[in-house]
Structure formats: C-alpha cells, structure tokens
C-alpha cells in the first residue's frame, strides 16, 4: 500500500515518455492521456483514504533511511492537493480535446501536459527540500513549453518575461537551499525542522526564512512579486490558462505553507508578521486589478492574486483554525479558478473577444453557460452555502480571535469585491441586447461545458458537504500546527 505515494508521480511520468513516441497519433494520445489521468486520480483518492485511516505515509527511495536518502511523504495536506490537482488536470485535458487544436496536439502537447503534472504532484509529495527544487524545475520547464506552444505573438512576448522571472527565482531557490544546508547540514525536511528546533532558530535561520518567502512569493505571486503574472497567464489558450491559474501559483503557496509551519515557526513575531503584511497588500493589489479591468481574462487573473493573499493570511495567523481555513480555501480556490477559466475560455471562443464592452446578451442563446457561470461566481465569492464561504469564515474567525482585526476585515471585505468583479462579467456579458458573434455555432459549447461543469459540481459538493470534508481538512491542519507528527512519521522516532 505504501507505494501508492509514488503512483501519482510515476503514472504521468511514464505516460509522458510514452506519448513522446506517439505524436502522429492524436486520437491515441488523447485516449492514453485520459486513461492515465483516471489512474492518477484513482491512486490519489485511495491515498487520501489510506492517510486518513493509517496516518502519514512515507517512502524511502533506494532503501536509504531518512534523513540520508530521498524521502517521499504523504500527509493529508499533500494527499488532498495531489488529488485536487489530478482532478483539475483531467478536466483541463478533456477540455483540450475540443479546443486546443491539432497544431498544438502534434507538438508534444499531451506529453508536456503530463510532465507538468509530474512536477506538481512531486512538489506536493517530496519530503526533501532540494527535491522540491527539482520538481519545481520539472513543473517550470513544462510550463515554458505550454506557454509558447502554438507560437502566437502574445505567447512569445510574455514567455520571455515569464522565463526570465522564473530563472532568477530558481537561482535564488538553489542559493537559499545552499545557505540552509550550510547552517543545518541536512536536506530532509523533517530533519531540518528537528535541527532548527534544537538551535531555536537563530538570526541566520530567520534570514533564510525571508529568502524562502521571496523565492516562493515569486512563484506564488504575493505582493510585490506578482508583477509577472497578469501578462504571462493572459497569453496561453484557455485549458493551459486554467491549469496555470489553478495549480502553478498554488505550488508556491503550498511551499510557503509547508516551510513556515514545519521549519520557521519559532520566531513568528517577525517572519509571520511580514507574511501577514504582504498577504494583506496582496489582497488589496488583487482587488484593485479585478475591479479596474474590463477584460474578462484579466478580471479572473487578478482574482488569483486575491486568493493567494487570503490563503497566506491564514498561514501568517498560525492557529489551527486559521490553517484549517487556509487548507479549505486553497482546495476551493483551485477547483473554482479552473472552472472559471474554462468558462471564460468558452465565452472568448464564441465571441472572439475578451473585452467586456464587446460582449452582451449571451444568456438568450447560451443559458446553461450563463447559469453555470453564475453558480461559479457565487461560490468563488464565498456566498453561503458554497465552498468559498466555509474557508473564508474560518479565516475571518481565526483572524479576529488572534487580534488581527485589520487582516480579518480585509479578508471579509474581499468577498464583496470578488463578487462585484465576477458579477460584472455576468451582468454585462450575459444580459442586455444580444449581439452577433463571429464564432456562433462553430464552438462545441456543450462538450466544453462538461469538464467545467464537473469542477463546479465538485466545488459545490465540497461546500455543502463541508461537515464530512472537515475531518480530512482538520487532519491536514493538525500536522501543520504540530510538526512533531510529521517529524516522527518520517524519521520513525
């Protein structure tokens, strides 16, 4: 059973390698990719249940015991994020079949897609800080290809900025890991945590904590390091945009969550205070962008930044309730952001534009698309009883309880602005006088709605079934609040 840990990594890895040799057979590539994704989802769901019943699962690669070898660790947080990522990737894959185009499919699209999932699932599962860097690089190299595949002018322009930022970020990541190793003498996350506890986080470790915040802040798009994101995520086609928007920034957020709860929790008065200020500024920056733009892609992209701020606020409060709220909201946001990007992809495909002023009256011809967008909007904004409400309620409650009134108020206020920004799309785009659209009748709307509908259904079920899900989420938060559980499971103490 323990080998379940590695299945969500090796299934997409072997699929990616196989698909390299099948570039001419597009239909076969689709079938293999789809079946592979179903296998990955199945393994990740079984893994969640295994962790829930049997506790944290570990796997020492090459039979070298921790902390000397490379260890894979699956606690509840890791297992939940691997399953969520796999489900989102599957929906984006199904959406790609009818939208990405043969031109891209022939140029290793499905192979690179699977490599991206290897990097994402590996980053969530590794118990080694250097291998976190390795999986980051697998994810980023795949994202570089997906960013430029198709070779449109905007993709090529934005990819230069995207690659440059991530190359600098990766170099800083290696330097920071080297500093940490020189001080602590270990790369195993559990062992690092134990040794930092023994020396009680001296000043140099606090400096390393801030360096990690810069590295993961660049990748996770926190203020002021989000400058690259709106343009870069604007460029690729809808399924790639959904994949990036839902998953890539969340790997950066996960890394902050993991390191700031496992390593750097001794001097929270300094490190977590800085994180809180940045989280609040991130929310405000996202709000300004979301309400200022009239471009539907930009509106949803700036909503990513708002969500990153909300999740990192929960990490900075650092109570069990706030961490539970962060994990709950993280999974909610991954599901709903992916659904939102897929839905606006359909709108853009029909209308041929992302300018809100050029879209009107779509509800008359596409009622299902309109009402699905409406449901996704309510859920994203945190209207009860949808999933966004539960996570945000926990975060606001924990913020007020810990005396962080300004941060909690900003998180609460963000709901109104998120609702305003997405309702602006719904009211202006779906109501009003119907316009003639260039691609009407040419877009397979109902086929594209299916994967988006699946994500919305899962998101709504996640919110309505919050009581059932809570035992899993609280199990994830318990390990974050009590690092000894993680350390003991890995080092077998």
The 3-class secondary structure across 364-406, one letter per residue, is HHCHHHHHHHHHHHHHHHCCCCCHHHHHHHHHHHHHHHCCCHH
Q: What is the pTM (predicted TM-score) of this model?
A: 0.94
Q: How confident is the model at residue 3 (pLDDT cuts 50, 70, 90)?
A: confident
In this predicted structure, the answer to whether residue 185 has a pLDDT above a threshold of 90 is: no
Is residue 310 within 8 A of residue 332, CB to CB? The reply is no
Q: What is the pLDDT of residue 493?
A: 58
**What is the secondary structure of 211-257 as a DSSP string?**
HHHHHHHHHHT-TTTTTTHHHHHHSS-HHHHHHIIIIIHHHHHHHHH
Q: How confident is the model at residue 1 (pLDDT cuts 50, 70, 90)?
A: very low
H-type alpha helices, 431-465? 445-464
Average pLDDT estimate for 420-438:
87
Average pLDDT estimate for 434-447:
79
Q: Which residues, at least 6 apart from 341, have a Cβ–Cβ distance to it below 8 Å?
A: 238, 241, 242, 245, 246, 300
Is beta strand 57-60 parallel, antiparallel or unpaired with respect to 71-74?
A: antiparallel
Q: In this prediction, what percent of the chain has a pLDDT beyond 70?
A: 99
**In the chain, domain spans:** 269-486
Q: How confident is the model at residue 453 (pLDDT cuts 50, 70, 90)?
A: very high
In this predicted structure, the answer to whether residue 115 has a pLDDT above a threshold of 90 is: yes
d(CA 287, CA 281) in angstroms, rounded, equals: 10
Average pLDDT estimate for 462-485:
90
């Amino acid at each position: 059973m323990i080998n379940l840990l590695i299945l969500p990594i090796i299934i997409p890895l072997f699929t990616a390698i196989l698909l390299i040799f099948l570039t001419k057979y597009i239909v076969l590539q689709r079938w293999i990719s789809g079946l592979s994704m179903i296998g990955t989802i199945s393994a990740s769901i079984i893994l969640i249940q295994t962790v829930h019943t049997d506790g944290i699962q570990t796997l020492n690669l090459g039979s070298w015991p921790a902390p000397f070898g490379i260890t894979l660790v699956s606690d509840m947080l890791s297992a939940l994020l691997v399953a969520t990522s796999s489900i989102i990737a599957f929906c984006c894959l199904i959406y790609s079949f009818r939208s990405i185009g043969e031109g891209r499919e022939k140029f290793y699209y499905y192979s690179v897609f699977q490599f991206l999932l290897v990097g994402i699932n590996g980053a969530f599962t590794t118990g080694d800080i250097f291998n976190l860097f390795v999986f980051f690089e697998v994810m980023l190299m795949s994202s570089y290809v997906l960013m430029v595949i198709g070779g449109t002018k905007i993709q090529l322009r934005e990819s230069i900025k995207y690659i440059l930022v991530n190359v600098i970020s990766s170099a800083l990541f290696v330097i920071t890991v080297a500093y940490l190793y020189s001080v602590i003498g270990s790369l195993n996350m559990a062992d690092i945590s134990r040794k930092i506890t023994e020396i009680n986080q001296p000043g140099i470790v606090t400096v390393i904590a801030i360096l990690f915040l810069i590295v993961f802040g660049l990748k996770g798009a926190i203020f002021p390091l989000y400058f690259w994101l709106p343009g870069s995520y604007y460029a690729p086609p809808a399924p790639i945009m959904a994949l990036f928007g839902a998953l890539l920034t969340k790997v950066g957020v996960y890394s902050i969550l993991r390191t700031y709860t496992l390593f750097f929790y001794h001097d929270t008065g300094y490190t977590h205070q800085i994180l809180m200020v940045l989280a609040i500024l991130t929310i405000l920056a996202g709000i300004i962008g979301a309400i200022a733009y009239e471009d539907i892609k930009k509106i949803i992209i700036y909503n990513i930044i708002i969500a990153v701020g909300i999740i990192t606020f929960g990490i900075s409060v650092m109570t069990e309730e706030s961490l539970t709220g962060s994990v709950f909201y993280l999974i909610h946001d991954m599901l709903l952001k992916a659904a939102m990007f897929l839905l606006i992809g359909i709108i853009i495909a029909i209308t041929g534009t992302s300018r809100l002023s050029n879209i009107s009256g779509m509800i008359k011809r596409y009622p299902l698309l309109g009402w699905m967008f409406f449901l996704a909007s309510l859920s994203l904004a945190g209207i009860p009883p949808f999933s966004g409400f539960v996570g945000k309620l926990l975060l606001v409650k924990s913020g007020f309880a810990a005396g962080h009134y300004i941060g909690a108020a900003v998180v609460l206020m963000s709901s109104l602005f998120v609702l305003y920004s997405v309702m602006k799309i719904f009211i202006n785009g779906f109501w009003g006088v119907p316009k003639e659209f260039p691609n009407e009748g040419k877009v397979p709307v109902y086929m594209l709605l299916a994967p988006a509908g699946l994500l919305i259904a899962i998101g709504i079920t996640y919110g309505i079934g919050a009581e059932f899900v809570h035992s899993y989420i609280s199990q994830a938060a318990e390990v974050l609040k009590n690092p000894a559980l993680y350390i003991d499971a890995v080092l077998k103490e």
